[in-house]
Amino acid sequence: MTTAFLLFIGIGLLIVAYRGYRAGAIRAGSSGFKLYTPTRQDNPLAFRFFVALYLCGGFACLMWGVLALAGVAEPLPLR
């Protein structure tokens, strides 16, 4: 069950990163009461940072899920 969760989260993060990269804007949390969405034109450093963060997080979760499915890595210790 935890392996499916890791695979789902990994694929979801990769989809968010890809769609944000294609659109030129990515959601990155909130700034007070409004959403913080850095764009490629307004804040290119933050935009690239969050795309890279989502990509690395997605690949890490996806690889952990695949390795747990193969029996090489430990699954998530959920209680």
Enumerate residues 6+ apart whose C-beta is below 8 A from 25.
Answer: 37, 38, 39, 40, 47
pLDDT score for 60: 96
- Residue with the bigger pLDDT between 31 and 14: it is 14
pTM beyond 0.75, yes or no: yes
- What are the tens digits of pLDDT across the range 29-45? 887 888 889 999 999 99
pLDDT score for 79: 73
pLDDT score for 78: 74
Question: What is the rounded distance in angstroms from the CA atom of residue 53 to the CA atom of residue 47?
Answer: 10
